[in-house]
Structure 1
């Protein structure tokens, strides 16, 4: 029981329940199944993006360009759809995913081959990708009347009572869970984060693993590029601007250590849901949604402090056990 209570995921789940109960007491409609399903659907893209960021952070890196990657990939497929509406939506999804993967690979290549810190690389490419959007679109937006009905309806398809967007989040969550817990790739990612030097001696290619992590974050960013434009029916240089903070906040709240090597799929998903739930609850309790960024920032600081205390405590236990050995 004590071990269960030490689980970050359990406490996050209890926090989610507390927010739902507290807000429902203020507004009974908040706790309805349809409303909670809507909140999950609204949080779906954050879940997908946070999972991609989780993989990167576990390798002791960070990707600040995910939102810009999303915006550029989304603009590419929006422009293609506006010019060639006969192209099937699945092909556009593949194009967006490929575009995002290439952009992520570009980040990974710079970090791997040139040894530039990930925060510097992705801060630079964040600006580059936003600039490219402006160039290819000529500073214009792609609006609903320029997009085909099939493109727009892609994320709104109802399957077994849930939108396709929600099913995408569930499927990708399962895929990440399998990858991180059941494959050599997942074990390599954790190993690189826990101890890069030891992982090299274990035969793991450090550079390739980090490169792969950025390809994964790019892939989900590209996918969300289509999902975002389809859902919000707009493509512009401003799409998802500042969303990087929410993505990182979801990871950190979910227990992903900025120092690397620690993080779970379940925790990351719960972290994203917590942010989505809190943001939905703010208007209900008469708090301006503009506080969202401040809350995300505060949540990051608190979560980092919590993580750091937990890691120090774990370190003390290891030292204590070592000293007690004969």
Structure 2
């Protein structure tokens, strides 16, 4: 019995230091890649890598909240494409418009998409995976209808709009600063507000949360609205960065976002996830995307390596969760 308790305690302790272990893995991986290619840890490449990861990291914040509540959102790529397309069409028609207006417009469109999705899930009782799959196709269809099936290319966008993603402050790219700002705000929201704590309560035990007076429906509605707003913001930043808006923008990108969350220790079963974890998960995915081509790894092997690392992360998450659950059960018995 004592041995079993020791194993349980060890499994539970892994959860506490999981982020530290992930950070150690990132450092070791970076050293190995640097040995293979000395240009990896140059300031220029690190800045490029963080810039390329910024949009992904913004989306992982919203996805973490969704997954914490035992949900999933497969429509974020389509929401991103729709918001980016509408913003691109707006700046194409009104070149003198302030870029902040385009950002607000795209974010608002994303929020509207999230509100609709949240309503279907919280009030309509539709399973998240079904609701998001359905709306994913709806949003894609609206994107193609709005654009008439055409692209908005770089020469049709004013320099001020493209400057959103290419500008910098204190030598740091604007995308990175926006991501940092969002992480700071969301960290405060999760850690220091009642609503933030309620999100985790709903994900940990929906029945107990309901009994304690938490409105589960409103929490779910809020979470998907936040996810939609961040997707809308990401859509504007994406179009500005790549200077192109098209109907199939970010097709399948939701899988990368979910992968970053899983790598960061967010439990698919809900109720568990940390800001520090998803930051590291996003960085790890960014390193893999950036470094594997640098060391001349075949594209086919790149997919296999990324998939293997994600699978290992899922297995670790499952083992840790099982250990934590056993630990809680042992405490109740004692």
TM over 0.5: yes
1:68 is aligned, of 63, 70, 78, to: 78
Distance 1:102 1:208 in 2: 15
Which residue number in structure 2 is paired with residue 115 of structure 1?
A: 125
State the Cα distance separating 1:40 from its structure 2 match. 1.0
1:84 is aligned, of 94, 118, 122, to: 94
Which residue number in structure 1 is paired with residue 155 of structure 2?
A: 145
Distance 1:5 1:118 in 2: 27
- The superposition leaves residues 234-284 of structure 1 with CA deviations (integer Å, 9 ceiling, x where unpaired) of 000121111111000000110000010000011011101100001111112
1:2-13 map, 5 Å:
6-13=16-23
Which residue number in structure 1 is paired with residue 247 of structure 2?
A: 237
Task: Structure 2: state its 5+ residue gaps.
Answer: 1-9
TM-score normalised by length of structure 1? 0.95
- The superposition leaves residues 11-36 of structure 1 with CA deviations (integer Å, 9 ceiling, x where unpaired) of 11111111210110011111112211
2:198 is aligned, of 183, 188, 191, to: 188
1:131 is aligned, of 138, 141, 144, to: 141
2:278 is aligned, of 268, 277, 285, to: 268
Work out whether residues 246 and 296 of structure 1, in 8 Å CA contact, stay in contact via their aligned partners in 2: no
Q: Which moved more, 1:8-17 or 1:93-102?
A: 8-17
Which residue number in structure 2 is paired with residue 197 of structure 1?
A: 207
The number of equivalent residue pairs is: 323
The answer to whether 1:228 aligns with 2:254 is no
1:49 is aligned, of 29, 44, 59, to: 59
Q: Which moved more, 1:194-203 or 1:291-300?
A: 291-300
Work out whether residues 66 and 221 of structure 1, in 8 Å CA contact, stay in contact via their aligned partners in 2: yes
Residues 107 and 148 (structure 1), Cα distance of their counterparts in 2 relative to 1, 3 Å cut: same
Distance 1:49 1:250 in 2: 10
Work out whether residues 14 and 320 of structure 2, in 8 Å CA contact, stay in contact via their aligned partners in 1: no
1:32 is aligned, of 30, 42, 53, to: 42
Q: Which moved more, 1:241-250 or 1:314-323?
A: 314-323
SS in 1 for 2:251: coil
Distance 1:196 1:282 in 2: 41
State the Cα distance separating 1:144 from its structure 2 match. 0.4
Distance 1:279 1:222 in 2: 24
1:17 is aligned, of 14, 18, 27, to: 27
Which residue number in structure 1 is paired with residue 318 of structure 2?
A: 308
State the Cα distance separating 1:204 from its structure 2 match. 0.7
Q: What is the RMSD computed on CA atoms of the aligned residues?
A: 1.5
SS in 2 for 1:320: helix
State the Cα distance separating 1:87 from its structure 2 match. 1.6
Distance 1:300 1:219 in 2: 27
The answer to whether 1:319 aligns with 2:329 is yes
State the Cα distance separating 1:321 from its structure 2 match. 2.8
Residues 36 and 251 (structure 1), Cα distance of their counterparts in 2 relative to 1, 3 Å cut: same
Which residue number in structure 1 is paired with residue 171 of structure 2?
A: 161
1:246 is aligned, of 244, 256, 259, to: 256
Q: Which moved more, 1:294-303 or 1:30-39?
A: 294-303
- The superposition leaves residues 92-137 of structure 1 with CA deviations (integer Å, 9 ceiling, x where unpaired) of 1100000000001111000011100000000111111111111111
1:274-293 map, 5 Å:
274-289=284-299, 291-293=301-303
State the Cα distance separating 1:322 from its structure 2 match. 2.9
